Amino acid sequence: MPLTSQPIDTSIYSAITDAIKTEAERILTEGQVTAVVGYAAARRKGSAQPIIITEATDAAKLIFTAACVNNLAVYLTKAKKEVPKSGKIGIVVKGCDLKALTGLMGESQLKREDLYLIGVPCAGVLGSTVQPATGLTTDTIAPKCTECDAHLPTGCDFVPLQTPVTPELEQKYATEIARLEALTPAERWAYWKEQFSKCIKCYACRQVCPFCFCEQCLCDRNKPQMVDTTPRPAGNTAWHIVRAMHLAGRCAGCAECERVCPMDIPLNLLNRKMAKELKELYDHEAGFEVLDKGPLNSYTDKDDQSFIK
């Protein structure tokens, strides 16, 4: 593990950009898809933003860089009514984003035949607090990329022939989870209390989550009001516990919640902890195959019940 910041090679991204442009143009021209969801450059230097194109001429706008941080799968859920869902839709996906699509297919939210997947061989993207023009290094890389096992997305319709060079990195979440697990309950409570105290209930974490597609969130309801809606420490804590619970066994770690949090709350830490427990308890890992039933809506009669009297 290098102690100083090392650059990460992103030179393949320009070839990937070209390949995405060509492929998007082709599938739109041939009428294989009605729209392509991808990334385009934005005003700030080096920045990127999601774009939904329907004309082949707009394919030239598509890019892929280390600033292409979004999980575009969110635009395919029923929660995003503004995005037309008619016909087959092309979507640019990194390996981590693809896991979300896999989960959505398992939950009958999407059909594989309605999608044209343009997979991206990915060496990593930037963390949320750095300027978009920053170069990708072992310091500026998003924490989720330090634990990535899907640099090359599998099962896509098209993947540019590039191989990302990915250095071995310290696994940020595994390390942090181990650190927190070693603390006493009171110390962990203090840690989360401080983190949740920053929350302002902007619900960015919910709105970008591909799995938060409920028409009406439990936490928006007031009859009955199960979770206080006010952004006070009590309501914030309840919200984040409920959110983590509702994602347990479903979240595959795109870490969008954590990336978008304007208050830098390490939300993916909760999701990764849940994923770790589900792996240990039920040998389940989200995002690898389309499953009819997730770990929390299936069971076996041999499930652990050592905690039950």
Could you tell me the smallest distance in angstroms from the CB atom of residue 248 to another protein?
A: 5
Taking residues 17 to 56 in sequence order and writing x for each that binds another protein by CB under 8 A, - otherwise, the string is: -------------------------xxxx-xxxxxx----
The Cα–Cα gap between 4 and 152 comes to 27
- In the structure encoding, which two tokens stand for residue 26, read together? 């082709």
Taking residues 72 to 111 in sequence order and writing x for each that binds another protein by CB under 8 A, - otherwise, the string is: --xx----xxxx----------------------------
Could you tell me the smallest distance in angstroms from the CB atom of residue 166 to another protein?
A: 25
Could you tell me the smallest distance in angstroms from the CB atom of residue 123 to another protein?
A: 21
Q: Which is nearer to another protein, 113 or 300 (CB)?
A: 300
The residues in 189-248 that bind another protein, with binding defined as CB under 8 A, are: 189-195, 197-198, 200-204, 206-208, 218, 220, 222, 225-235, 237-238, 241-242, 244-245, 248
Could you tell me the smallest distance in angstroms from the CB atom of residue 255 to another protein?
A: 12
Could you tell me the smallest distance in angstroms from the CB atom of residue 266 to another protein?
A: 9
The residues facing 137 across adjacent strands are 7
**Maximum Cα interatomic distance, the chain, rounded to a whole number of Å:** 65
Residue with the two structure tokens 């936490």: 219
Q: Which is nearer to another protein, 4 or 129 (CB)?
A: 129
Could you tell me the smallest distance in angstroms from the CB atom of residue 276 to another protein?
A: 9
Q: Which is nearer to another protein, 106 or 160 (CB)?
A: 106
The set of residues, in sequence order, having a beta carbon less than 8 Å from that of 44 and lying 6+ positions away, is 132, 133
Q: Which ranges of 107-231 would DSSP assign to H, the alpha helix? A: 172-181, 185-197, 204-207
Q: Which is nearer to another protein, 58 or 157 (CB)?
A: 58
The Cα–Cα gap between 189 and 182 comes to 13
The Cα–Cα gap between 261 and 283 comes to 30
Stretch touching another protein by CB under 8 A, among 21-29, 115-123, 150-158, 262-270: 262-270
Stretch touching another protein by CB under 8 A, among 8-16, 17-25, 111-119, 256-264: 256-264
Looking only at the bridges linking them, the beta strands covering 48-53 and 35-41 are antiparallel
Dihedral sign for Cα 202, 203, 208, 213, please.
Answer: negative
Question: What's the Cα-to-Cα distance from 155 to each of 158, 209, 253, 288, 309, rounded to whole Å?
Answer: 9, 22, 19, 10, 45
Number of residues that bind another protein (CB under 8 A): 90
- 3-class DSSP state of 240: helix
- In the structure encoding, which two tokens stand for residue 287, read together? 């995002």
Asked whether the beta carbons of 262 and 200 are under 8 A apart, the reply is: yes
Q: Which is nearer to another protein, 158 or 191 (CB)?
A: 191
Taking residues 264 to 293 in sequence order and writing x for each that binds another protein by CB under 8 A, - otherwise, the string is: x-----x--xx--xx--xx-----------
| 161 touches another protein (CB under 8 A) | no
Q: Which is nearer to another protein, 139 or 228 (CB)?
A: 228
The set of residues, in sequence order, having a beta carbon less than 8 Å from that of 95 and lying 6+ positions away, is 119, 120, 122, 148, 149, 150, 151, 152, 153, 154
- In the structure encoding, which two tokens stand for residue 31, read together? 């009428």
Stretch touching another protein by CB under 8 A, among 7-15, 151-159, 161-169, 180-188: 180-188
